[in-house]
Amino acid sequence: MIDLKLLQKDFQDVSDKLARKGVSIELLNSLKKKSEELKAAKVAFETLQAAQNAMSKEFGIYKKEGKDVNELKARVDANKIKITEALETQRIEQEELESLAMSIPNIPDDDVPYGKDENDNVEIKKVLSPREFSFTPKEHWELAEKNGWIDFERGVKLATSRFSVSFGMGAKLERALINFMLSFNSKRGFEEVSVPSIVNRTALEGTGQLPKFEDDLYKIQDQELFLIPTAEVPVTNLFQDEILLPTQLPIKMTAYTSCFRKEAGAAGRDTRGMIRQHQFHKVELVCIAKPEDSDKIFEEMVQTASDLLSALELPHRLVTLCSGDLGFSAAKTVDLEVWLPGQNTYREISSVSNTREFQARRAKIRYKDENKNSFVHTLNGSSLAVGRTMVAIMENFQNEDGSIVIPKVLEPYIN
């Protein structure tokens, strides 16, 4: 959630920055007005309540002294009617403010480039050069079927479109990648955690998927429970409503989970192959940090994901997302895009974001900072999306006959 105090104090600045993310000034204006109204309603209510409390105390004293309470009771009763009204006003204001505030995205960092969509993203650097092929490289779905690694039809048979099944070496490679990534991250100081794949509404509100993006989530029928779209949700919310000690920070975690996304609005995109599936595997990095450390941790996470790709000998590039392409909760995001020779293009394989205190404010994650409590910064990044890594391995390590070489670092994990 954005900082309402900051909005009141620096309205111009906040609205300028959010305009870059496509938030209208009208919306922010009504938010500002609402928060002022709520404040007034609160003051009105609290004044009445204070009077009520004082009279109640008096009441006790009167009783003790055996004085007549009829006159006092009449005053108390009259005040009570006003309190009920004031409380109702405040409740309505509160609800309206919350639903408004919860749907406003995070403020982008100052160094985020301005832009409309993914075409305006800015490349930072390329890592490893794409290999020269002496033949025309095939796309991964062809290779996957040819080698018997992935069965797209049977996935559809079991569930629906955009589900697939891995067999044999395909399944082994998947498992090897998960283990390799977890070990790699673990060596870099990220603690492994294993979390539920189902979470409640509060958790999803904490990280920002709800209330705005319910259509993208799989919901459990008749229950306020959802399949997780990313491990970021359960792992970040591990510390929801907690006050951490500074000595605990930074907390660096890595988790493997399946991820479930409806991909609403993605009709027609990446329909072939396993680039965009409803269920996919992902190893995630999540960090909880003091504000002054979060930039450093961010770089560390980007570097870890990049090194992982390098260890797998996969050419990739780093891209800073422009303001228009930035996600709802992110203040800054760097995407890692892997080279896919079959498609002759770079495709997103990891996305590292700093949400600053946006999620911490929603999920109430704080730490003791000197004497006061402050919000932590939360960061998350994929490391990596397993399915897309398999795609990248297939396309980059293919031979002319369609066979595929397994990257050397994975050998110990295959057998």
The catalytic residue positions are 261, 276, 348, 351, 388
Class of residue 412 by CB neighbours under 10 A (exposed 0-12, middle 13-18, buried 19+): exposed
Q: Does 43 bind RNA (CB under 7 A)?
A: yes
Which residue has tokens 């490289």? 137
Restricting to residues 312-371, name those near RNA by CB under 7 A.
366, 368
Q: Which stretch binds RNA (CB under 7 A): 15-23, 43-51, 184-192, 206-214?
A: 43-51
CA distance linking residue 141 with residue 125, whole number of Å:
28
Choose, by CB under 7 A, the member of 54, 81, 220, 266 that binds RNA.
Answer: 54
CA distance linking residue 260 with residue 280, whole number of Å:
7
Q: Does 272 bind RNA (CB under 7 A)?
A: no
Choose, by CB under 7 A, the member of 13, 46, 88, 153 that binds RNA.
Answer: 46
Q: Which stretch binds RNA (CB under 7 A): 38-46, 171-179, 225-233, 336-344?
A: 38-46
Sign for the CA dihedral angle at 263, 279, 359, 204 comes to: positive
Beta carbons within 8 Å of 314's beta carbon, 6+ residues apart: 128, 338, 339, 389, 392, 393, 396, 407
CA distance linking residue 35 with residue 99, whole number of Å:
12
From residue 226 to residue 265, what is the string marking binding to RNA with x (rule CB under 7 A)? -----------------x----------------------
Nearer to RNA, 63 or 154 (CB): 63
Backbone region of residue 208 per phi and psi (left: phi > 0; alpha: psi in -120 to 50; beta: other values): left
Choose, by CB under 7 A, the member of 53, 186, 223, 345 that binds RNA.
Answer: 53
Farthest CA pair distance, the chain: 104
Q: Which stretch binds RNA (CB under 7 A): 50-58, 174-182, 340-348, 403-411?
A: 50-58
Residue type, 8: Q
Task: State the minimum distance, in angstroms, from the CB of residue 2 to RNA.
Answer: 13
Q: Does 10 bind RNA (CB under 7 A)?
A: no
Question: 3-class DSSP state for residue 254?
Answer: strand
Q: Which stretch binds RNA (CB under 7 A): 76-84, 129-137, 159-167, 330-338?
A: 76-84
Contacts 24+ apart (CB under 8 A), 99-103: 99/211, 100/27, 100/30, 100/31, 100/34, 101/1, 101/2, 101/4, 101/31, 101/35, 102/1, 102/205, 102/211, 102/212, 102/362, 103/211, 103/212
Q: Does 67 bind RNA (CB under 7 A)?
A: no
Choose, by CB under 7 A, the member of 55, 102, 156, 414 that binds RNA.
Answer: 55
Q: Does 9 bind RNA (CB under 7 A)?
A: no
Binding residue count for RNA, defined by CB under 7 A: 27
Q: Which stretch binds RNA (CB under 7 A): 49-57, 114-122, 154-162, 301-309?
A: 49-57
Task: State the minimum distance, in angstroms, from the CB of residue 376 to RNA.
Answer: 12
Task: State the minimum distance, in angstroms, from the CB of residue 349 to RNA.
Answer: 37
Choose, by CB under 7 A, the member of 9, 63, 157, 296 that binds RNA.
Answer: 63
CA distance linking residue 188 with residue 293, whole number of Å:
17
Question: 3-class DSSP state for residue 280?
Answer: strand
Choose, by CB under 7 A, the member of 65, 77, 222, 292 that binds RNA.
Answer: 77
Which residue ranges make up the site for RNA (CB under 7 A)? Answer: 5, 39, 42-43, 45-47, 49-50, 52-57, 59-60, 63, 73, 76-77, 80, 243, 366, 368, 372-373
